[in-house]
Each structure stands twice: as C-alpha cells, then as structure tokens.
Structure 1
Amino acid sequence: METKSWRKVPIYQHLSNFGFIVGHIQQRMISRVPLDLHRTFVKQPKCFTYTNGEGDLEAISMALTDVAALFLDRHWTLQSLSALGLAEMEKLKFCLLSECNEMLQIVNGRHLEDFFVRPVLGSLQHLSIHYMKSLLCIWNGPIHSRCLSNLKTLAMHSCPELRTIFTQGLLESLTCLECLIVEDCSTIKTLVSLESPQSTSTPCLPSLKKISLIHLPELLSISGSISIAPRLESLVVYDCPNLEKLSYMKAFDNNIKEIKGENEWWDALKWCQPDWTGGRPDYLARVFIPLGTNAFFFFTTGIKEAGTVQVDSRPCEFYKRSVY
C-alpha cells in the first residue's frame, strides 16, 4: 500500500488497534532500544514504526493522525520531530526515538505557526530517546502553554551533544513529569539551564518522584539555584564524578526515601552553605544506599498495559545486578 493513500482507505479510519512497520527492515545484532521497552511499545494500541527512512516525510505524517505510539528508528535526514507535522500527533502518547543521527532538536518551537494554538504533543506521556549523536536540545525556541503538559516519563540515553535538559519554558510545562532518566550524555553539565534565572517560591517539576543520573562525566549541578521536585522520592547517581555537591531540595526534608550512589561519591560530597548550614544531615545519611562499582543498571518503564499509556506509581527504576 502506498503511504499517500492511507487516509483514503476507509478501514484505516475505523481501526481500534493496529501495528504498522514502514521502511527498510534490516537485521541487526544489537538493538539500541532495550528489549523490555520495545515489548512495551508493541503492546500499545495503534503503534507505528518508521525505520531506515530518509527524504520526503509528507506521506508518513499523513499516517500519524490516528497513531498513539510511534517508534522512529534510524531516520537518516530528519532534523526535528516537527518535520513530521506536530498537528498530526495530537493523539500520540508513547514515543521512541533511536539513532536519528541528524536530529538536532525534538521540537523546533521557532517554526511553529502563529495559528498553532493547540498544545504541542499535549497527549504525550512517555518519551524515550536513544543514541542521538547530534541532538542538542529537547525544545528549541518559545514554548506554548500546556505543550508536553501530560509527559510523565522522560528518558535520555547516549546523546553526546546534549548539554542541558530543561529550559524555563519546559520547566513550567512539565507539571506531570514523574520520572527522569539521563544516561551516558557525555557533555551535559546541568539539568536546568536558564538564560535569566528567576526566583520563585513554587518549586518546578512538582510531580517528579524519581531522578536517575548515570554515566554523566561532566555533570556539575542538578538544578543550580532553581528549586525543583518537591515530591522527589528516589535519587540515583552513578558515575557522575564532577557532581560534588547536592543543591537543597524541599523533598530532602519530607519525601525522599532513597539516595543511591557509590560510597566514594557520597563521602566526597561537599555540604556547603547556604544550602547546608550544618554539614550533611543525619536523616540523609539514613536513606543513602551504596552502589558497588561492579554493578550495571538497566531501565524498566513500569508502564501498565491498559489500552492506553499509563504510568503507575513507580514509573521507572534502576536495578542492580552483579557482573560475573
């Protein structure tokens, strides 16, 4: 079937469930997307995989109108997800992006039409990004109200050019974000980057419960002077040698249940004023769980199979295993 005829096929418009794969299928010894995550993807209703594509995207964007789960795998020329047509992704809830080597940003807000008044990716709940060697940012340019406002899980894996995660606009939009994973992003220095920091009594990312930071050699700060994640329950830090101090978070007083990391990192942390007036608090020492250097981690989504993407009360976890 030619993709340009998708919308003209009556049965396509009335399907309650489907799974389509478009592109050049190739056998690969190693997949960049974890098997468990891919299994979760194919269980979603109305899933669409576009693999090894390049060039004209008009036909594919026409097919995305009714898609709830999208896996964009190894597109060779795409520079932004916006090029597929954001208006066509109004129903998108689950998105996997892998090895799109020319992609510079997920959304180019500078090219949004003035009349684009609907929230961009307003239904998206899960966004997982893997091995994007040119990716610079998630969102470039101004962000409209309620864009990405239902996102619950954000996972960034192996994005070597990524230097930060959140801008001011994203911080204000991601009110439902529950789980953040940043792994193997070799140049990232901070999770939050603001051109003109503004003091506010209301912490950003109010629903964030879990942060996992893995293999980030240049990471210097989690949020700097910006207050985030008042409901944080779990913080995992592994192989982040330049993260020498933790900024105070309101959650450290109330909700934090565990902080996981290497003993060497924990013992070397600097507990400085003005965040910490009396050194390391005893209650934080009680929730610290050491991770050995002979451990590795794998990501599980924790997403329920319930017809639509739903993130449960434990949206993501890292587990420790011994290496034999």
Structure 2
Amino acid sequence: MVVLCACSHHSSRSLRVVSAITRSPSFGPPRSHVLDVEVDHARKTIFAFDILVYDGRDLRGDRAADLNARLAWLRSALPVLSDGWTVVEKEYHDYRWGMRATLDSVMGPHSDGLIFVPEGEPYPTRCQWKTLLKWKPPSHNSIDFLLDKDRVLCVGDVNGSVVPFRPQLPLDASRVRPPPACRDIVQCVLAPDGRRFEALRVRTDKPRPNFKTVALNIWKSMKQPLDLHRLNISGHQAVWTHHGFLKNQLAQQCASAGPTNVLELALELDGGGAVRDNTRWTRLGCRVVSKDLEEFLNGDAQAEGSSTLTYIRTLCGTRW
C-alpha cells in the first residue's frame, strides 16, 4: 500500500495522515509507504520528492534516515498508477557547484521556485521544517488569501478559522476573469510599487488560505527578497553581502523622510565596518556621530553629568 501526501512542509495534514496510518494495525506489512508529493494535474504527473514511511517504518525524526537514505528508499517505493497518471522522482541538484549554474539548469517554464532541503537531517516530526528554505523569485512569490464578503484578504488561524491579514493592502484583481468571489482562495503577489496585492488566479485546487505564520513569512520575503546569485560566493562573504543588502534597505527607509541625524554605536570604531556604515548613511544625506559602544556604556553619559537621552541629544543635535 502506498499513500501519497500532496501537501507542503508547512502543513500539518501530512503529519496527521502519517500518524493515523502508523497507529493502524493494518499498516505493518512490508511494501507499505507514505510519500510526500506534488501533483501536476495538467500533465497528469505526480512528483515524489520525499518519503515519510518506508516498509511500515516511520522515518520522521530518525537520524539514520537522512536525505540520501530517504531518496534511496523513495526510488524503490515509487508506485505504478493507472488511468494515465505517472509517478516520477523529483530531481535534486547540488547547488554547492555554483548557484548560477543551478538556477540556469532548473528554472524552466514549469518551475516557479526552489526548495533547499537539509542533507544531513531526518524528515521532521513537527509540522514546520525550520531548516528547510523555500525560495521563489519576486514575480512568483505569492500568498494564498481567502477573500471575505467585504473583500478583506484573510489567512488561516487555529481550528480552521480565518483572520484578516496584517498589513492589509488593496487588492487589484483586474487580471483575473471571472473576478474572484467571496470565499475564493486568491493567489496574490506584491505589486512592484509595494502598495497593493495583485491577484494572479483563483486557486480552485486549494480549500484553505495560507496559515497566518506562513503568510507572514512570505510577506517578509516579499519585502526583503533574497537574490540567490549572491549565494554564488562562498563562506562568510555570502552572509556579509546579504547583510549589507538588508542594511542598505533599512537605511533607505529611515532616510526616506528627509535628512536624519544618526548616532552610530559600534565596537572598535577604528575598524572598517564602522567606516562602511558611516559612508552608507552620509551617502543618503544623513549626519552621523560615531561613538565607541563600550565607552558609551561605561560612562560617557555619566561623565557629562546628564542622562543618557540628554547626552545623545547633545551629541546629535535636537532633531530626534
């Protein structure tokens, strides 16, 4: 017997299915498997990319069942279906050979993103796989909302309920025909101006919207998209590069209202990091005052005979 779980790692549905099956006395015989899959209805193809139960053995949380072991078991467990449906193994790529080469080879017309799966971990026992990364380019990074009677965009909450998504932005559904109706699940992307959601389609294949924590994580990735080509460099340099990208975004948001006074508190002010940050702020028209953090905390304000807030105002002027 083979059970196919067509669901994401952020859903508890697959875990409930597995728990119910592994508790069943009839689930003991060999050749009983539970696979994690994606279903392509247009091509009548089921893509299997992981296995949760093999020969009646629950692999979740089993440290011996890392990704390579699970893929070997998956290949031997792929079923043969009738009615024109095909089950194939989803292809994995080792991106350590170069992110640009990986993107060029896998981002085709039928691909809308990538999933980075930890190689040395078992399939999780909990509903959320915290070390698994799902990535989509900004044009495909979407949230599935439920549209209520007042055209408010809602997301899933506990016990199957829904709540309004925050932040709530206007919905532009001009590209969807017929227009989405009340209780429809609408797949939305963030418009280029960041001020509204654009509807891509109505998800007739999905009965529920994204859960609120999943939707919020997608929203954060929409606001701070990750350029995967930055990962083409190795080691700490990749982290530094992305960190600098995020700091530039935050600095631009702070300076968008006009000239700003900035107090830079940093360790080892003679190091290059503080210089780069000063340059980042001054390039945006901000006035920067730098102080060594350790000296500041050890009594600079007290030595001036004033409160810390008064001392900050003395350093940076009155525009706070």
In proportion to residue count, which structure has more helix?
A: 2
| TM-score normalised by length of structure 2 | 0.29
Query: Considering only CA atoms, is the larger Rg found in Structure 1 or Structure 2?
Result: 2
